[in-house]
Amino acid sequence: MTRVPYREHVPPDVTACIFWLKNRDPAHWRDAWQVDHTLGKYVISDKPMTEEEWTRQRATLIDATPDDDEKNRD
């Protein structure tokens, strides 16, 4: 009889991997994320816009108040 060294294959344990990641880097790996919701206003255009045009349009949307929107409708 001859003895031969061998390595036994053990399949990875997903739960152990998750546990390790959460403890190793909790800022990036956690169950619940704290997400801040911001009210988004979108710029819709028929043609491609340059970054400067988009910034100008976006600034007018952000600076607008509800009263301004009602005046523009009339």
Is residue 33 predicted with pLDDT exceeding 80?
Answer: no
User: Which residues, at least 6 apart from 12, have a Cβ–Cβ distance to it below 8 Å?
Assistant: none
User: How far apart, in whole angstroms, are the C-alpha atoms of residue 5 and residue 18?
Assistant: 31
The tokens 């607008």 sit on which residue?
64
Is residue 62 predicted with pLDDT exceeding 80?
Answer: no
Tokens coding 43: 């710029």
Query: For the chain, which residues make up each domain, given as ranges?
Result: 41-74
Q: What is the pLDDT of residues 44-58, one digit of tens each?
A: 777 888 889 888 887
Cβ atoms of 56 and 50 within 8 Å: the answer is no
In a 3-state reduction of DSSP, which class is residue 49? coil
- What integer pLDDT is reported at residue 26 of this predicted model? 85
